[in-house]
Structure 1
């Protein structure tokens, strides 16, 4: 038996099928959107939890560091229990040094003002340099270096190896110290230049068995040496090292054998030296 459908029925069937398909598609689309939203929400939640975990670890670490730091500061911030003072005390009293250190000390190991302690000590006579250091956990170490006088300066003071003036007192011990030291004489402000020239000249002469007893520089910048045996060497103002080299050449070739007869040597010439002999003992 044949089934005959009208065109209207066919159209209605097609429309019904299309509506059913569209409904299914909408239903599928809604369900797909719901799953995507759930996944995004879950990922964000995991990320938040992960950051919270990181922050918790950092907070715990910060508290731990704070606790350790507080403990360390507590260990350091304690009173100084001992002071060690080093040095060769020939002109400086160790007792005076200790008293100065104690007067400058704070009540805490970490609050010690090392620069202040050093400054106050280096102001004292005969102290050249001071080193101050903390020693764990509660000790202070002070090392004192005294001035070493190299030469007399003028009539009552001395110079160290840098040409710095050491002011001496009128005590007998200081006067005894000056005995035997070479004497340097010059204008005020020439101390360092005088010491530098003394060290250079004394080294040159010492290689030939001669020592400087006195070194003087006049206001006109003319230099004169008096040797330990009394011989006077007049250098003049210019070319001091060159003149001394010429003098030593003449000394080795001509003057050494008659040195005991010599009174003075004059180097104030362009290309030679002049000598003066001692007068005979009978005269």
Structure 2
């Protein structure tokens, strides 16, 4: 009987020791996790140590971008509102889009892509290649920045259609040594092209590409040799073109 009691008591002792061992290990793990967690939080809660700004800056300065980023920065690296910084940058007139990202351990990387103005829009604004309006508040600065760009003029809401038409027309005319200086669409949806040499082409409302094809056929056959004498060309006819010649210079 005594030997059985000893055996039972020994078994209980072993189990107790195993449980104490498990609890000890669990305690060490908990303490370790707490320590690692506290260290990680302290690392993540550190301030931003540097800001890297990428991009090609021609119409907006790198300094202006930096100031906008610093104004929106929080004290903590992990508390930075990247979306807010991006939105603030993209509200600037010349910024097409921006990317903002964290770089471990404490760097903020900002990449800015500027709008590339393709044409003037109205008196002082511009259009990018998608036909989106770039609003410019400073008209004096705009006149310098947009100098030499073709001018597109039409009703509000036609920006994308006009940009698409401009790109097609300019590509077509460039093959013949001509380029678009001004493209106008009236309220009646009648199109007029002014070329870089100030020759005016009145296209009208419908079938622009068909009419331009007819014009280029006549140009190659008859008009090219006398091009410098031309003032305007009217394509608003069913099966022909009308030509107006320049007034001869007075001697």
User: Bigger shift: 90-99 or 227-236?
Assistant: 90-99
Structure-2 residue corresponding to 1:85: 53
1:122 paired residue among 80, 83, 90: 90
Offset at 1:223?
0.2
Question: Where is the helix percentage greater, Structure 1 or Structure 2?
Answer: 1
- Equivalences, count: 234
Structure-2 residue corresponding to 1:213: 181
Q: Is the CA contact (8 Å cut-off) linking 2:125 and 2:142 kept in structure 1?
A: no
Unpaired segments ≥5 residues, structure 1: 1-47
Offset at 1:125?
2.5
Pair member with larger Rg: 1
Structure-2 residue corresponding to 1:255: 223
Structure-2 residue corresponding to 1:192: 160
Q: CA RMSD in A?
A: 2.9
Distance (whole Å) between structure 2 residues aligned to residue 171 and residue 159 of structure 1: 15
Q: Deviations over 1:183-227 (max 9, x none)?
A: 111111211111111111111111111010110001110000010
Distance 1:102 1:170, change over 3 A: closer
Structure-2 residue corresponding to 1:96: 64
Unpaired segments ≥5 residues, structure 2: 1-14
Distance (whole Å) between structure 1 residues aligned to residue 146 and residue 50 of structure 2: 37
1:133 paired residue among 72, 93, 101: 101
Q: Deviations over 1:134-183 (max 9, x none)?
A: 11111001112222222111122222222222222345332222321111
TM-score after normalising by structure 2: 0.81
Offset at 1:88?
2.4
Structure-1 residue corresponding to 2:10: none
> The residue matched to 2:130 in structure 1 has which SS?
coil
Distance (whole Å) between structure 2 residues aligned to residue 198 and residue 82 of structure 1: 44
1:142 paired residue among 110, 120, 124: 110
Offset at 1:66?
7.0
Which fold has the larger relative contact order, with Cα–Cα distance below 8 Å and residues 6 or more apart in sequence?
A: 2
Distance 1:82 1:251, change over 3 A: same
1:1-283 pair list within 5 angstroms: 63=30, 71-170=39-138, 172-282=140-250
Offset at 1:59?
6.0
> The residue matched to 1:215 in structure 2 has which SS?
strand
User: Bigger shift: 105-114 or 71-80?
Assistant: 71-80
Distance (whole Å) between structure 2 residues aligned to residue 238 and residue 272 of structure 1: 15
Distance (whole Å) between structure 2 residues aligned to residue 69 and residue 202 of structure 1: 62
Distance (whole Å) between structure 1 residues aligned to residue 43 and residue 209 of structure 2: 61
